[in-house]
Amino acid sequence: MKHTKLHNKSLRWLIHPINIFQAGQVVLTVLTFLGLLVLLSGCSAILSSTTSRLADNLSYAFENQTDTAVVEEATPAYLLMLDALIKDDPDNASLLRTAAKLNTAYADFFVTDIERSMIITDKALNLALKAACSDNKKLCNIRKKSFDDFRQVINGCSKNEIGSIYTLGTVWASWIQANQKDWNAVAELPRVEAIMEQVVRLNPKHEDGGAFLYLGTLATLHPPALGGNPEIGRYFFEKAIEISGGKNLYAKVLYAQRYARIIFDKELHDRLLKEVYDADPNVEGYTLTNIIAQKEAKLLLDTSDDYF
C-alpha cells in the first residue's frame, strides 16, 4: 500500500538539485543554526517551535519535488537530521510525526531491499506511536491493548487527535506491507481499518479523503471468492478521488490496480490509467506522488493486454 500524499507535510525552503554530500552540508548548517538558537536564547520553547517548523518544511519539500532522484539521494541526510532533532526534543509530537512520515515515504518509494524496508518502517511505526502518545496519554501503549480495547480507545478519539491517529494508521499500513510475510503483522490490519474508520467519522475530508484510499485498499485485498468486497472498495476509491478533486493521481492508480483488475474491467482500468498518465502532475502537496503515480500507471498500461 503506497503512501498517498506525504500526508500532511511541508518544507518552505525547497530541495535543490544537490548530491548527498551537499545535502549533508545543508544538514550541518541547519544543526549549527539550531544550536546557536539554544545558546543565545536559553529557551526550549523557541527550539521546539523552530524544529517543528523545520520538520513541516522538510515534508513540504519532499512532496513538492519534481525530480525523484534528488529526493532519493537527499532524503537519508534529512532523516539523520530529524534523528538529531528528536534526540534534543524527544516529546515533540509534530517532529515525531514528520519523522515517521518521511521514513515511511522513503521506504515506500525508494527502498527495494525487503530487510531495509522492514527496519525503516519499524522505526517509523515506533515514531508514530510515540507521537500519538505525546499528543494524548490515552494513546500510549495502544499497540499492546487487545483489539476490543484498542478500538474503544480509537473510537473515543476526537478531532484533536485526528492528525496523530491518521499518521499512525498510514505508517502502520506501510509497516504491515513491509512485513507481509509475517502473519502476525498481517493480523494487525484490522487496527489500521479501525483507525481509518474513525478518521472518516471525525472528518471524511481529512488529508483530502486519504483515509478512503486505505479503506478501499483493505476492501479489495482479496477477490470476492476469498472474502474481498470490491464494490465497497470502489465506493471508497471514488470518494477519495471526489474529495481530492482529482489532485491525487495515485488514487486512480489504486482504483485501477485494486478494483478494475480484480473484477477484470479493462475499459475502466485503461481509462483511469490514461487519465493519470495525461494529467499535469504539478499540484502542490502531490507533485512527487503524482510523478510516481504516472510511472506506475505506465507500467500497468503496458501490461494491460497481457493481464486482461
Query: 221-276, pLDDT tens digit by residue?
Result: 877 877 789 999 999 999 999 999 999 999 999 999 999 999 999 999 999 999 99
CB-based contact 259:223 (threshold 8 Å):
no
When pLDDT is averaged across residues 174-178 and rounded to a whole number, the result is: 90
pLDDT tens by residue, 75-119: 888 888 889 888 888 988 888 998 998 899 889 888 889 999 999
Q: Which of 174 and 73 is assigned the larger pLDDT?
A: 174
CB-based contact 75:109 (threshold 8 Å):
no
- Between CA 183 and CA 23 the distance in angstroms is 39
Looking up cell 509475517 gives 182
Which SS3 state, helix, strand or coil, does residue 199 take? helix
Residue 34 has pLDDT above 50, yes or no: no
Q: What is the pTM of this model?
A: 0.79
Helix axes 266-278, 287-302, angle to 10 degrees: 140
